[in-house]
Amino acid sequence: MIAKTKLGCFLFLAFLILILALSLISAEDEPSDYGPPIEGEDYIISRSKIERTLGRGELLRDYIQITNFGTRDLEILFLVDDSLTDFVEFSVFGIVLEPGNTSNTDFMIKGMRKGSFSGNIIIKKDVEEIIPVNLTIVETILSAPVLVEAILPEKSFILKKDIEFQLNVNKLKPELISNVSISYFIVDEENISHVLGEEQLDIANSFQTIKTFDFPEGVGVGEHVLEIQLEYEDRILFSKTPFIVKKAFHNTLILGFIPVWSLILIFSLILSGFIVYYLIKKNLERKRKYRMRLDASSIPKKNPDFLFLGKIAEKNILAYLNPHGLTTHCIVAGATGGGKSISAQVIIEEALMHNVAVIVFDPTAQWSGMLRKCEDKKMISYYTKFGLKPTDARAFKGNVKQVENARQIIEVDKHAVPGQIQIFSLNKLNPKDMDLFVSNIIRQIFNSDPKEAPTLKTLLVFDEVHRLLSKFGGSGEGFLQIERACREFRKWGYGVMLVSQVLNDFVGEIKANISTEVQMRTRDEGDLNRIKIKYGEEFLQSLVKASVGVGMFVNPAYNHAQPYFINFRPILHNTRRLPDEELQKYNKYNDIVDDLENSVEQLEKEKIDVFDLKMELKLVKDKIMSGSFSVVEIYLEGLRPRVDKEWEKLGKQPKKRELKLVDEAEIKKSVEEAKAERAKVEAKEAKEAKANEKAPVEKKVSLVEKEVAPLTFDNGVMVSSVKELKSVLPNMDDAIFKTHVNEKRNDIADWIKKSFPGKGAAYKVISRQGMIKALENFGKAKPAPVAKPAPVAKPRRSAKPVAKPSAKPAVVKPVPAKPKKSTKPKAAAKSKKSGKK
């Protein structure tokens, strides 16, 4: 009996243990954080609630799994209540889930601050569900299997030396923690993180180790934080330790500007120091790659409405361009390999990001790379130099179409969509057809009755436009139309960008109506001579030595119309054109869509409701622009039968789409109109030139603006006219002025004498203010003298007083030319004149 009782107790105890174990297992498996799945008509969502407890400062990765059991794509959007926006962040805004597929959409839960927080994750669009979220954030991290800590041996470190610290990893649970990632950062005062390093390891036990890293570039003096991130499974643990970065003692400044190490030598080497400083400065000036006169106050500053081009070469100054200035058009020229395409595409990328419509006429399909994001590691490596991140690489929304016939009618307004790029590939056209096509396009714009617009709306890009020149096989008719476009497109909000290997061969009217010029490195002798004559030898040498991606930028509204060099930023899109097979897919699906659009338009004329068909066509177009051809095919499989069914109901067949061509005679007529306008302009210019020849006095009025061989000062400033000299002198340092104008030399007077014969002597003054005053009357009938000359008017009344040698001589010390005029020659001249009378 006792044995039976013991056996019964043992069995009862075993049963209780089993029940307890099962309850623990079930409690462990119970999806308390997830809730039961949500089952819809054609989908299943993996969870119906989210309940999480985490420590303050802890991050937790989570996801929502959705399976599409239906027969159509599900477009799904994820939204978060305002109460949870600080704590829950999705990796994507929405997804398109194809039939039979399952998607895991990640989101991050952030322990921002202590407390309890609740709200909802809202799933919208084709799936309408709400998932309640309850978060509890406590002061310390709960159930963490491991803790990480950094112990600094001291509170401050010397910049440019190593940073060394002790890493303590305390394991709190016995099981092995695999695949742990530890990352080390320095966060500066501006909250910029600088990576020290990272490592992957498995943690079996607690351990301590010493870590040593070099200070990364970009870290300066001041207060910093050593941040360690330990990531395992879906959790991230932080450790933050403040410290100070300071300069070494020998670099400490006394009185704010004297280094300690120089105190011993400063008094004995002061003279030699000035000499060394002067020689180094002169040497640096000679070695400077880009010589330019830059007035930073006269170039565009950072503005969210402006296009970001890059940096001023050899200077840490950002370069911008007002996009509405492109209504006065732009030309980018340079040899192959000099960065011509990159600089042009940077401008176009910025225009697209500022919601400008762009249409490119591309003879090589090179611009098709804009439809894919940059994956070139070398190009991406330059991003940080311009304040960009690898994640800034992006594709641009747009399409590419093949032009089959030069007389093809292209509705420019239809393709001009703000923020999108439309590329027309012209690689199947020969040079003669290129001329015809350009003439045709510009004619169509003129005939489209465009509306006036005060700002830039559409940018037209003509690449490889030098092919229109006769020496490259063109007829020149395309240039006539481009010249006409440059004169008149501005009022309609159209900007024209010409991309060419040469610039000098462009006719004067085109260059006269283009305000922005970008000249990249070139080997064309015509362009090199033009630059030398117009801007001087130094600009020529700078351009010849320019690095790839650096170009000479000229705009009359900037830098007093003087050129300066811009190092253009790297591009964000792909550096390579699309492969031929992808271009063929664009052509194939664009043709199919054009056929369907033609068919739907005919259905609409038959009074059929085509609203849904048009909406689906729009979706197909969007997918073509993103290159999602598999999705396009799925859409078309459903759309084409629906269109055919509508025609079957009507018992009719749609008319086939035909390529619309313009009569070549119409194009020729437009070219003749351009020739007539050109003739009027030439006649007007000839008339003005003739008037200038008859009235040379008018030329003297503009003598102050006449451009001559430049005068270069020791600070690199170069002046090519007296007007520029007058604007430079008031702000010039006295030391620079005295280098060029002193008792022994007067470079300004010599330059004026050489450039304007007979005028140099009047400017031999040695003070800067005196020179400024003397230049005030330059170009007038008589230059302003420095001292009053002897009166001449009174002696002319009679020969006698003038002839007296005892009369006071007209000697003016600052003007050496005057003493040569003694009274004798004047008397003789007067007597001779009297004899004639």
Which phi-psi region, left, alpha or beta, contains residue 384 (left: φ > 0; alpha: ψ -120 to 50)? alpha
pLDDT at 803: 42
Residue 630, SS3? helix
Round to whole Å and give the CA distance between 451 and 751.
52
Other C-beta atoms within 10 Å of 188: how many? 17
Round to whole Å and give the CA distance between 115 and 119.
14
Do 126 and 158 belong together in one domain? no
Q: Is residue 684 part of a domain?
A: no
Q: Is residue 664 part of a domain?
A: no
| 318 residue type, one letter | L
DSSP state of 821: -
Query: Contact at 8 Å (CB) between 376 and 493?
Result: no
Residue labelled with tokens 């699906």: 589
Q: Which residues lie below 8 Å from residue 270, measured CB to CB, with a gap of 6+?
A: none
The tally of domains found in the chain comes to 7
Do 462 and 537 belong together in one domain? yes
Query: Contact at 8 Å (CB) between 382 and 403?
Result: no
CA-to-CA separations, 679 to 464, 478, 486, 670, 755, in angstroms, rounded: 27, 16, 16, 14, 36
Beta bridge partners of 182: 199, 230
Round to whole Å and give the CA distance between 113 and 138.
8
Do 156 and 132 belong together in one domain? no
**737-776: per-residue pLDDT in tens?**
888 888 888 888 888 888 887 666 667 777 888 888 888 8
Q: Is residue 271 part of a domain?
A: no
pLDDT at 835: 40
pLDDT at 727: 75
Mean pLDDT of the chain: 81
Do 335 and 318 belong together in one domain? yes
Do 336 and 446 belong together in one domain? yes
Percent of the chain with pLDDT over 90: 30
pLDDT at 820: 43
pLDDT of residue 677 exceeding 90, the answer is no
pTM exceeds cut of 0.75: no
pLDDT of residue 675 exceeding 70, the answer is yes
**123-132: per-residue pLDDT in tens?**
998 999 999 9
CATH code of the domain in which 191 resides: 2.60.40.3880
Q: Is residue 116 part of a domain?
A: yes
Which phi-psi region, left, alpha or beta, contains residue 367 (left: φ > 0; alpha: ψ -120 to 50)? alpha
Residue 143 — pLDDT band, cuts 50, 70, 90? Answer: low
Do 61 and 163 belong together in one domain? no
Round to whole Å and give the CA distance between 749 and 763.
5
Domain ends where: 229, 249, 269? 249
Q: Which residues lie below 8 Å from residue 755, measured CB to CB, with a gap of 6+?
A: 708, 709
CA-to-CA separations, 557 to 154, 594, 684, in angstroms, rounded: 55, 44, 26
Round to whole Å and give the CA distance between 281 and 654.
78
| 599 residue type, one letter | S
Do 178 and 327 belong together in one domain? no
Q: Which helix (H) or strand (E) holds 254?
A: strand 253-254
pLDDT at 450: 87
pLDDT at 350: 96
pLDDT of residue 389 exceeding 80, the answer is yes
Residue labelled with tokens 């099981």: 175
pLDDT of residue 184 exceeding 70, the answer is yes
CA-to-CA separations, 241 to 98, 165, 238, 374, in angstroms, rounded: 48, 10, 10, 37
Residue 14 is part of which domain span?
1-30
Residue 10 — pLDDT band, cuts 50, 70, 90? Answer: low
CA dihedral 105, 109, 110, 116 (to 10 degrees): 150
| 346 residue type, one letter | V
CATH code of the domain in which 519 resides: 3.40.50.300
Do 413 and 536 belong together in one domain? yes
Q: Is residue 7 part of a domain?
A: yes
CA angle 659, 662, 668 (to 5 degrees): 155
Q: Which tokens is 630 given?
A: 């598999």
Best CA proximity match to 358, nearest among 499, 501, 483, 474: 499
Do 394 and 535 belong together in one domain? yes
Q: Is residue 268 part of a domain?
A: no
Domain ends where: 511, 545, 568? 568
Q: Is residue 66 part of a domain?
A: yes
Round to whole Å and give the CA distance between 359 and 462.
9
Q: Which tokens is 159 given?
A: 């910049």
Pairing between β-strand 43-45 and β-strand 177-187 as defined by DSSP bridges: unpaired
Higher pLDDT, 232 or 357: 357
Residue 136, SS3? strand
Do 215 and 364 belong together in one domain? no
pLDDT at 301: 92
Do 543 and 427 belong together in one domain? yes
Domain ends where: 510, 534, 568? 568
pLDDT at 408: 87
3-state secondary structure 66-118: EEECCCCCEEEEEEECHHHCCCEEECCCEEEECCCCEEEEEEEEECCCCEEEE
CA-to-CA separations, 727 to 300, 747, 750, in angstroms, rounded: 20, 17, 19
Round to whole Å and give the CA distance between 28 and 451.
70
Do 23 and 70 belong together in one domain? no
Percent of the chain with pLDDT over 70: 81
Average pLDDT of 421-434? 85
DSSP state of 419: T
**330-349: per-residue pLDDT in tens?**
999 988 788 889 999 999 99
Q: Is residue 807 part of a domain?
A: yes
Other C-beta atoms within 10 Å of 116: how many? 10
Average pLDDT of 806-814? 42
pLDDT of residue 292 exceeding 70, the answer is yes
